[in-house]
Amino acid sequence: MLEAPMSSAEALITRLREKLEARNAKGCRYRLSISVGIAHYDPESNYTIDKMLVEADKLMYEQKRDKRNL
């Protein structure tokens, strides 16, 4: 099965994570990480911008929680 192509947001996040990992691999004093929540707009849904922000925020905090549990 073919994987769906990455969205531009997902590609950006991947690049940011790669850059942070390269920076962290240099033995810097503080390890940095990034947590991002992405909400996709569907013009056929009744999602408001506020609902989208809540969804993205929820996804970001899920990532933060998952990183702490590693």
Query: Taking the model in full, what pTM does it have?
Result: 0.69
Same-domain check for residues 52 and 26 = no
Same-domain check for residues 5 and 24 = yes
Q: Which of 30, 49, 38 is nearest to 7 (CA)?
A: 38
Same-domain check for residues 28 and 49 = no
Query: In the block, which residue shows the tokens 């990455």?
Result: 6
Percent of the chain with pLDDT over 70: 90
User: Residue 9: pLDDT band by 50, 70, 90 thresholds?
Assistant: confident
Same-domain check for residues 23 and 39 = no
Same-domain check for residues 51 and 66 = yes
Q: Is the pLDDT of residue 48 over 80?
A: yes
What is the pLDDT, as a whole number, of residue 46?
Answer: 86
Domain hosting residue 49, numbered range: 35-70
Residue 45 CB partners (closer than 8 Å, separation 6+):
none
Same-domain check for residues 28 and 40 = no
Number of domains in the chain: 2
